[in-house]
Amino acid sequence: MKVLVSGGAGFIGSALIRFLIQEADVSVINLDKLTYAASPEALDAVRASTRYHFEQVDICDREAVTSVFERHRPDAVMHLAAESHVDRSIDGPEACLQTNVVGTFVLLEATREYLKQLSTESRDAFRFHHISTDEVFGDLSPDAPPFNEVSPYSPSSPYAATKAASDHLVRAWGRTYGVPVVLSNCSNNYGPFQYPEKLIPLTVFNALRGQPLPLYGQGDQIRDWLHVDDHARALFRILCGGELGETYLVGGESERTNLEVVEAICDQLQPLIPRPGGYRPLIRFVDDRPGHDRRYAVSPSKALRTLGWTRHYSFEAGIQQTVSWYVDHQDWLFGSGADGRRLGSGSAG
């Protein structure tokens, strides 16, 4: 199998590619624009493989995307390329609109034209797997059951709205044009190589510098946490075994408040790099951001039941592994372009 992965130099995309090359014996074409959040170093482990190919392409560039299809002839697409930071989408929504909506449209259209060139057998085997977020469902009340595959969409932020739009485009291209699509929506991912504007790496970044650890409001927003390596395994299961037109939710069943997550990071850091008085006194509460959803949680029961996917990481084991990785890779953490200008006090959670 030859898979075209869009956004493969990003956090989730690079974890997926490492899995596909190292554990699944799949050939990969990594299509990535290399924006600020890309981490080419995350692919060092597979770069020398003859099954790995990189194309620096903006998914909004239809001519360039079409050329990649013609030259590499993929058997599947796994679409992850996205502008994914909520604060950035609030400050400048146009970039989200371009990448998440226009980019998805371009990739769908390139796929649709490419499918016309394939034999019936190859076309029937082809899959377009669109990877999305639980944020499309909006705010979940504290006592409500987790979202499932038929939960209504109610996005709150420009980021979530553009991802919801891209989900709808994918379903429409499946229904109207017969593009063989499958979709998945995931909960908050964490793990190695996550750009330090997101909660967990940002907290480690600031803590190791002795800087305040900012949390929106009172830090009582609840998220479900999923280790990125578990997500990568789920994505491959969905690509290979998911039913056409179906959606699968992928979650860690590990709900924590943002404050609980930051406290867990502080407690993991203390024995690794002791700090007088510990790291918890660095926690600071800052003004909440506009439209901040209180809770996200998804039920992965469909993926667990129908695809035989299982998680390897509990939150406790995953956060220990993740914090240890950042401590052991401080050159990457502090050299990733995270220079304070990009890490405002309101970037957490």
Nearest CA to 204 out of 192, 188, 222, 216 is that of: 192
Active site residue 253: no
Contact in structure between 298 and 146 (CB atoms under 8 Å) = yes
Exactly one of 83, 87, 114, 159 is catalytic; name it.
Answer: 159
Query: Known catalytic residue: 159?
Result: yes
Burial call 106-117: b when 16+ CB within 10 Å, e when fewer? bbbbbbeebbee
Question: Of the residues 32, 83, 87, 135, which is catalytic?
Answer: 135
Phi and psi torsions of 223, nearest 5°: -130, 155
- Residue from 134, 230, 253, 255 carrying the catalytic annotation: 134
SS3 content of the chain, % helix, strand, coil (to 5): 45, 15, 40
E strand or H helix at 249, and its extent?
A: strand 247-250
Please state whether 115 falls in left (phi above 0), alpha (psi between -120 and 50) or beta: alpha
| Phi/psi at 175 (5° precision) | -75, -45
- What is the torsional sign of CA 331, 333, 337, 342? negative
Q: What secondary structure letter does DSSP report for 286? A: E
* Annotation marks residue 135 as catalytic: yes
Distance of alpha carbon 95 from alpha carbon 88, whole angstroms: 9
Kind plus residue range of the DSSP H or E element containing 21: helix 11-22
- Three-class SS state of 173: helix
> Rounded CA gap, 310 and 59, in Å?
32
Residues with catalytic roles:
134-135, 159
